[in-house]
Amino acid sequence: MKLTRRDFLRDSFLLGSSVLLSPIPLHAGEKKEIQWIPAYEKLEAESKLAQRIKQAYALFEHCELCPRKCGVNRRKGEKGFCRAPVKPVIFSYHPHFGEEIPLVGVKGSGTIFFSNCNLRCVFCQNWPIAHEGRGKEVQDEDLADMMIHLQKIGCHNINLVTPTHVMPNILNATRIALKKGLHLPLMYNTSGYERLEILKMLEGIVDIYKPDMKYMDVEKAAKYSAGASDYPEVTKKAIIEMHRQVGVLKLDHQGIALRGVIIRHLVMPNRVAGTEKFVKWVAEVLSKSTYVNIMAQYRVEYRAYDYPEIARGITAQEFLEAMDWAEKYGLTNLDQQSLSLRNFYQHRRSS
Ligand code: SF4
């Protein structure tokens, strides 16, 4: 059957609302069938969470929270590469319906956008937040209240976007929120540029890790992410650690994510992202059933106009090539929206 542009736009809209294409029936208010306890709740029951927060806060005095290892004393107001203060700066918090279907459900992913970033890519699609640090400085107690609010309005998880430089605040806020009844999966939604030592501190606290894997090539990483030539190696190690902690993605009976890893990979023009190497690595090193979202939405933003190689959107052919590689290396848990888009382009190509 020929798929028209109108069909595609309609399907895209439905994908945005993330309901009708969901693989399982979703009913608001229906009880989860399985007894599930968030990781941080168990750690608190073992009286270990407070100690973890204390250790994390001490890191602010010589900040090495991320691989930039600036060594600044953020408690004294010094700022490192990310320019983040010691308190969290938040741009917005709300239900988000543009995430992967197992995160969105019917009520959305409870997303908190942190300002500032430790990677600062030239093609950043959130540059006013990540590069310019727009947002409001808050207390950890406020952050906890945001988590509780997102839970009250029915969100299915707490989605912490760009959390790396505010990890201690997040831990503290989570414990405060737990005492107020927080009972949602905690998701660490990160660029992937994480230190192993820091990730180990998150073991037993984070339920879902959602790292990017942006590039597989050191030169591309250095060129487009502010000199972070170690990004491919650091991020591969980080994802292996995340996978060790929480494993492949597990869903409840309604198809909502409870625990596990989701990897996002943005296809870039001219094979800049190294997609073939990436999917091969996932298949060989992690698991073929790793949830992978191969994304087509690259757009020219921020300073990407200054780099000819990435100063255009991707073609349908580039996206199809990426999906073909995922298939070739045997990945079995690809994001539904990527698969729908692949089907659309294939229909268009054959019609
Ligand atoms: S979190 Fe910020 S200040 Fe700390 S090491 Fe990373 S870039 Fe530097």
What global pTM score does this model have?
0.90
- Angle, CA 196 vertex, CA 92 and CA 236 arms, to 5°: 85
Closest residue CA from atom 4 of ligand 1:
63
pLDDT in tens, 70-97: 999 999 999 999 999 999 999 999 999 9
Query: What pLDDT sits at residue 35?
Result: 79
What is the pLDDT confidence band of residue 350, given thresholds at 50, 70 and 90? Answer: confident
Please give the distance of CA 22 from its chain centroid, rounded to a whole number. 20
CA-to-CA dists, residue 180 to 117, 155, 186, angstroms = 29, 16, 15
Closest residue CA from atom 2 of ligand 1:
82
Tell me what percent of the residues of the chain surpass a pLDDT of 70: 90
3-state secondary structure the chain: CCCCHHHHHHHHHHHHHCCCCCCCCCCCCCCCCCCCCCHHHHHHHCCCHHHHHHHHHHHHHHCCCCCCCCCCCHHHCCCCCCCCCCCCEEEEEEEECCCCHHHHCCCCEEEEEECCCCCCCCCCCCHHHHCCCCCEECCHHHHHHHHHHHHHCCCCCEEEECCHHHHHHHHHHHHHHHHCCCCCCEEEEECCCCCHHHHHHCCCCCCEEEEECCCCCHHHHHHHCCCCCCHHHHHHHHHHHHHHHHCECEECCCCCEEEEEEEEEECCHHHCCCHHHHHHHHHHHCCCCCEEEEECCCCCCCCHHHCHHHCCCCCHHHHHHHHHHHHHCCCCCECHHHHHHHHHHHHHHHC
* pLDDT for residue 22 is more than 90: no
pLDDT in tens, 109-155: 999 999 999 999 999 999 999 999 999 999 999 999 999 999 999 99
118 lines ligand 1 (CB under 6 A): yes
Query: What pLDDT sits at residue 33?
Result: 55
pLDDT in tens, 267-279: 999 999 999 999 9
Short-list 186, 206, 187, CA closest to 198: 206
Centre of ligand 1 from the C-alpha of residue 92, in Å: 22
Query: What pLDDT sits at residue 348?
Result: 87
State the closest ligand 1 atom to the C-alpha of 69, by its place in the atom list counted from 1: 5
pLDDT in tens, 200-245: 999 999 999 999 999 999 999 999 999 999 999 999 999 999 999 9
Query: What pLDDT sits at residue 318?
Result: 98
Contact yes or no for 130/83 (Cβ under 8 A): no
Centre of ligand 1 from the C-alpha of residue 302, in Å: 22
CB atoms within 10 A of CB 127: 18
Short-list 88, 80, 264, CA closest to 189: 264
More reliable by pLDDT, 95 or 31: 95
Short-list 335, 350, 296, 351, CA closest to 319: 296
State the closest ligand 1 atom to the C-alpha of 164, by its place in the atom list counted from 1: 1
Burial class (CB within 10 angstroms; exposed 0-12, middle 13-18, buried 19+) of 259: buried
Closest residue CA from atom 6 of ligand 1:
66
Short-list 285, 349, 286, 294, CA closest to 327: 294
CB contact set of 66 (below 8 Å; sequence gap of 6+)? 82, 118, 164, 165, 193, 194, 195, 198
C-alpha–C-alpha distance, residues 348 and 343, integer Å: 9
What is the pLDDT confidence band of residue 34, given thresholds at 50, 70 and 90? Answer: low
* pLDDT for residue 27 is more than 80: no
Probe target for ligand 1 pocket from 59, 65, 164, 170, with the most ligand atoms within 8 Å of CB: 65
Query: What pLDDT sits at residue 263?
Result: 98
Contact yes or no for 224/122 (Cβ under 8 A): yes
Centre of ligand 1 from the C-alpha of residue 82, in Å: 6
Query: What pLDDT sits at residue 129?
Result: 95
Residues facing residue 248 across a β-bridge: 261
* pLDDT for residue 11 is more than 70: no
